[in-house]
Amino acid sequence: MSEKYLIFGAELSPYSIKVRSYFRYKNIPHTWIVRDQTTQKEYNKYAKIQIVPLVITPENEGLQDSTPIIQLMEKQHPDNTIVPKEPHTAFVSRLLEEYADEWMVKCMFHYRWRYPEDQISAANRFAELFTPTWINRIPIANAVFKKYAAATFRKRQKSRLWVVGSNENTEGLIEKSFSDFLQLLETHLQTRPYCFGFRPSIGDFGLWGQLYNAWTDPTANKIIESGYPKTLEWIHRMLNPKAEGEFELWDDLKETLMPILKDQLGATYLPWLAANNQAIINGDDQLSVNIKGENFSHSVSSAQKYHLKSFTMLLKEYQTIPNRHLLDSVLKEAGCVDYFE
């Protein structure tokens, strides 16, 4: 039995690098394994579904889904915690992670597959992962295969923008949400290295997975590097995060963190989530919701069902908090509390 964990993942997967960054921070012995043609067979032995990350424990158990993986590891490796001491602050951190996983991914995926320059960049990187090893020894065949693979992947992925709700009707709001969040985060990070103070929280890991991946794509890279220096420093810092002190208390975080909760969760993500979950329950093919005075409409795919499952898990976490008075006051001010009743 190996004493190390194995993490099958890819740099292009925000959830993979989120887990890898967490393992690095916690100093949990692990080996990072790129899921590609050479490792697919081993990956298939443990994967229940074809997604990354896949974590293989020393007991040879396969784990998938980034949030439960981190939560399990946190119980087994409590030192150097990523959980703020105040229960209400800790839940806000978890809520930001949920926002990142389920809404910020729309922004990342949209920019990656909406514009030609980004499509080409990402498609070429994906093609590298799925090029057979033997073909690398034949230069001409290698070039032809990679060109074909990239073109095929590009066509497939740009046709799947609808899966994250990106279309001509919604793309303006998705892009504005991205830029608004960057502005708010930049302000918040002016006086602290991490989102909740001087060590990373689960909210940092979730947000970073999406923003790092966006930063690796041409269009979002230009946006981030054009005017968000503190955010850029944080993106680099989170590649191998270190504790630089303790978590801050909510009263110290509130001035610049509350605007993020109000704008990105209370006014944007949670209204969409509620509409999505209701559409899933109703069996609707389309959803339409008013977000900041604009109509946000898109088809409902099977992929949207996970949002309902994920929020149900978050709701259970909320309900286990014994005294929610302080948390509810925070959520109420942010315009979020009604979504948890």
pLDDT at 302 over 90: no
The residue-averaged pLDDT of 145-174 equals 95
Query: Same domain for 38 and 92?
Result: no
Position 144 scores a pLDDT of 86
pLDDT at 128 over 70: yes
The token pair at 173 is 């709001």
User: Residue 51 maps to which CATH number?
Assistant: 3.40.30.10
Closest listed residue to residue 315, CA positions, set 331, 333, 299, 292: 331
pLDDT at 2 over 70: no
The residue-averaged pLDDT of 224-229 equals 97
Closest listed residue to residue 264, CA positions, set 106, 103, 131: 103
Q: What DSSP element (H or E) covers 294? A: strand 294-299
Quickly list H helices, the chain.
14-26, 40-46, 66-76, 87-99, 105-114, 116-129, 139-158, 171-188, 202-215, 218-227, 229-237, 250-260, 270-282, 305-320, 325-333
pLDDT at 299 over 90: yes
Alpha-carbon gap, residue 87 to 206, rounded angstroms: 19
Whether residue 102 lies inside any domain: the answer is: yes
Query: Same domain for 179 and 287?
Result: yes
Residue 1's pLDDT band, with cuts at 50, 70 and 90, is low
Residue 25 neighbours by CB distance under 10 Å: 19
Tell me how many degrees the CA angle 61-63-65 measures, rounded to the nearest 5: 175
Query: Same domain for 54 and 97?
Result: no
Distances from the Cα of 203 to the Cαs of 7, 70, 180, 193, in angstroms? 21, 11, 18, 13
Whether residue 290 lies inside any domain: the answer is: yes
Query: Same domain for 302 and 230?
Result: yes
pLDDT tens, residue by residue, 56-107: 999 999 999 999 999 999 999 999 999 999 999 999 999 999 999 999 999 9
Alpha-carbon gap, residue 246 to 240, rounded angstroms: 17
Task: Order across the sheet with 62-64: list the strands.
Answer: 30-34, 5-9, 54-56, 62-64
pLDDT at 288 over 90: yes
Residue 8 neighbours by CB distance under 10 Å: 25
Position 132 scores a pLDDT of 79
Q: What is the dihedral of CA 149, 218, 200, 192, to 10 degrees?
A: 180
pLDDT at 139 over 90: no
pLDDT at 228 over 70: yes
pLDDT tens, residue by residue, 109-125: 999 999 999 999 999 99
Closest listed residue to residue 241, CA positions, set 94, 24, 71, 69: 24
Query: Same domain for 71 and 196?
Result: no
Q: Which residues pair with 32 in a beta bridge?
A: 7
Three-state SS string over 13-47 comes to CHHHHHHHHHHHHHCCCEEEEECCCCCHHHHHHHC
Closest listed residue to residue 6, CA positions, set 37, 16, 140, 15: 16
Query: Same domain for 187 and 266?
Result: yes
The residue-averaged pLDDT of 173-194 equals 98
Residue 143's pLDDT band, with cuts at 50, 70 and 90, is confident
pLDDT at 50 over 60: yes
| Tally of structural domains, the chain | 2
Q: Which residues pair with 197 in a beta bridge?
A: 194, 247
Q: What DSSP element (H or E) covers 269? A: none
The residue-averaged pLDDT of 137-145 equals 80
- Of 69-83, 113-127, 272-286, 302-316, the poorest mean pLDDT is in 302-316
pLDDT at 324 over 70: yes
Query: Same domain for 214 and 261?
Result: yes
Query: Same domain for 199 and 230?
Result: yes
pLDDT tens, residue by residue, 187-201: 999 999 999 999 999
Distances from the Cα of 2 to the Cαs of 30, 60, 279, in angstroms? 10, 8, 45
Residue 140's pLDDT band, with cuts at 50, 70 and 90, is confident
Position 136 scores a pLDDT of 75
Domain range enclosing 242 = 87-112+163-340
The token pair at 141 is 């065949």
pLDDT averaged over every residue in the chain: 96
Query: Same domain for 275 and 178?
Result: yes
Percentage of the chain modeled with pLDDT above 70 = 99
Position 133 scores a pLDDT of 76
